[in-house]
Amino acid sequence: MNTYTYSEARQNLSAILDKAKKDGKVLIKRKDGSLFELKALIKSKSPLNVKGVNAAINKEDIIDILKEVRER
């Protein structure tokens, strides 16, 4: 993990953001000793976001299937 001074981070922000994305996180240290962690957020997809399927089934067929399942 890399640590940068505030001045380095300010001058090379784009490169440091790329480094944070690649390595997971970078640290930025101020003159007063304060330490900050900069990390990239990983965009995750919802497991419920699935592609639809063309089942060629109509409303009546769905209702019949539901009735059959509920009778069990």
Q: pLDDT (tens digit, 9 = 90+) per residue, 48-72?
A: 888 888 888 999 999 999 999 999 8
Assess whether pLDDT exceeds 80 at residue 1: no
Strand order across the beta sheet in which 25-29 lies: 3-5, 25-29, 35-39
Q: How far apart are CA 48 and CA 43, in angstroms?
A: 15
What stretches of the chain show up as alpha helix (H) in DSSP?
6-11, 13-23, 59-71
Q: What is the pTM of this model?
A: 0.56
Q: Residue 14 — very low, low, confident or very high, per pLDDT cuts 50/70/90?
A: very high
The rounded distance, in Å, linking the Cα atoms of 45 and 39 is 19
Mean local confidence (pLDDT), 23-43:
92
C-alpha Rg value of the chain to the nearest Å = 26
What the chain holds in terms of domains, given with CATH numbers, is 1-41 (3.40.1620.10)
